[in-house]
Structure 1
């Protein structure tokens, strides 16, 4: 059975929430960098799954950018730079705000 956009957004909700939280904490606590790297890997794994059954729209439009962002975030974390990783995550143009747009209307996803 093909996964729907709602199912994908549901699967992303908790890992993305964790990613945001640990991104904030890692900027203040370098000892959280391994946890941040793990959170990035988890979200990237979900976003890397086959998206062929997901309809065109904001989610798919942003997906290639999301994967590049996660790679850039991981590079920053690997070099000990949590602040740069957080800046990529929260970028107002290409950051994870666009995932909120892609998942808008589904439970747990609201556009601020």
Structure 2
């Protein structure tokens, strides 16, 4: 399914919000780890969708990195290190902050959005 950046960002908004919340929660509550694993899968599925219809730019460029971030998060969670998983998610170089850059200006992706 070809979509626009705005459509892709809209579909990612809620699952990524959940990903951040569950990543943080799992650091303190091991019972939240299964939900974190589920949300990682939801976000992974959206990131893995065909990006050929998206224009070149920050979002499209980051998608492969996002998949690797999720892989690394999964590995950390599976090894019992939810704190490491959260650190990977929030990494300033490759983490999901770059998704925020790619979706900047769309509803829910900026302070004013």
Q: TM-score range by the shorter chain?
A: over 0.9
Per-residue CA shift, 1:44-98, capped at 9, x if unaligned? Answer: 0000000110000000111111100100101111111100100000001110000
Identify the residue that residue 55 of structure 2 maps to in structure 1: 55
Moved more, 17-26 or 1-10: 1-10
Residue segments in structure 2 that go unaligned for 5+ positions in a row: none
Q: Please give the root-mean-square deviation of Cα atoms over the aligned residues, in Å.
A: 1.4
Give the TM-score of the pair, scaled to structure 1. Answer: 0.96
Aligned ranges for residues 1-112 of structure 1 at < 5 Å? 2-110=2-110
8 A contact 2:9–2:106 mirrored in 1: yes
Residue segments in structure 1 that go unaligned for 5+ positions in a row: none
Q: How many residues align?
A: 112
Give the TM-score of the pair, scaled to structure 2. Answer: 0.95
Runs of 4+ in 1 over 6 A off after TM superposition: none
